[in-house]
Homo-oligomer: A and B are copies of this chain.
Amino acid sequence: MKLRHSIMLGTLGRYADRFHCYQPARSLEERLIDIREVIKADGIEIVYPQDFADERTVELVKKSGLPVSAVNVNVKSEDKWRRGSFTAPDEKTRREAVAYLQTGMDLAAELGTDMVTCCPLIDGHNYAFEADYTKQWRWLEEGIYAAASHRSDIKVSLEYKLNESRNFNILSDVGRTLYLCEKLGLPNLGITMDVGHALIAKETPAEAFSLAAAAGRMFYLHLNDNSREWDWDMIPGSVNYWDLLEVLFYVKRLNWSGWISYDVFARDGHPIETLQATISIVNNTIELLDKVGQDKLEELLAGGVAAQTFAHLVKSLL
């Protein structure tokens, strides 16, 4: 198990929901300095095309010395994606989505990582009788296949999410994403599991992790939390602490190595403080695994009696 902590550049920038703007925009330079010198993270996740609006981006990132964990390809925000990206009814738009993913792959190579991650958040539907479901899935398959075939040295990691911006996103859960990967059969295709997305999809995050890992497709991990009804992007473990512990238990048990990135947004206080707390909580939770005892947990798991397990777990907190 080798884990590295990555900060999404966006989590240090402007943040607004429908009703309120919580955080102001901040320059790329400023954010890179904070990540390296204050947060002391191991790397960054960077969004294409938004974070590349400034043409000095590649240069600034390289100069920062911070490794890039993944290029996150955004196919949802711009006007052109209004009716969808990989599943837009318009063929030209679908081709553009593929091109975005391919450009992201090339940028990843240039920035020294082997990973792009992409969450197709505007592919799906809001209303009944609004989208042609049969075509949409075929277009998704075609688009992802075309993009991932672009080059085999870069992994394409798909991030599933139940809803937002669409009421029903097409790539909604781990099973569906694994089905897509299995059907397309490309070895460089895999999964970004965001714990918050697993929770709103009514999954058990550690179970989704295990399922994707067993398929050899557990590529990239996003940690955060929520109350299982909406993707609030909260501090990991701040709601479902046992789920965080269990995810890290499986990470260790399956000897998974990779980047952990944090889709955590601050609505109170400063984002730097939030991200520092985030990394400290994850490290301390890994330490708690030792306190509880990985072997003891294996033994309790084999027993399968929740009363024994939780009596032990809570006692271990004292």
Within the assembled complex, what's the spacing in Å between the Cα atoms of A28 and B309?
Answer: 29
Which residues in window 126-149 of A have CB below 8 A to B? 126-134, 137-138
Q: Is the CB of B304 within 8 A of A131?
A: yes
Q: Is the CB of B129 within 8 A of A300?
A: yes
A175-B173, A241-B242 given; A82·B306 CB < 8 A: no
Q: List the one stretch of A16-24, A63-71, A92-100, A103-111 in contact with chain B.
A: A16-24
Interface 1/0 per residue, A189-228 and B, CB below 8 Å: 0000000000001111011001101100000000000111
Nearest CB in chain B to that of A22: its residue: B82
Count of A interface residues, CB-CB < 8 Å? 108
Q: Is the CB of A309 within 8 A of B130?
A: yes
Task: For A284, list chain B residues within 8 Å (CB).
Answer: 314-315, 317-318
Within the assembled complex, what's the spacing in Å between the Cα atoms of A201 and B173?
Answer: 10
- State the number of copies, please: 4
Within the assembled complex, what's the spacing in Å between the Cα atoms of A235 and B288?
Answer: 21
Task: For A60, list chain B residues within 8 Å (CB).
Answer: none
Shortest distance between the CB of A2 and any CB in chain B (Å) = 20
Q: Is the CB of B202 within 8 A of A172?
A: yes
Question: What are the 3 closest A-B residue pairs judged by CB atoms, nearest first?
Answer: A175-B176, A175-B175, A277-B307
5 more A-B residue pairs beyond the given contacts A89-B302, A175-B177, with a C-beta to C-beta distance below 8 A: A127-B235, A130-B309, A134-B213, A168-B202, A230-B230
Which positions in A face B, CB cutoff 8 Å? 16-22, 76-77, 79, 81-83, 89, 121-122, 125-134, 137-138, 162-165, 167-168, 172-179, 182-183, 201-204, 206-207, 210-211, 213-214, 226-230, 232, 234-235, 237-243, 245-246, 249-250, 254, 266-269, 273-274, 276-278, 280-281, 284-285, 287-288, 291, 297, 300-302, 304-311, 313-318
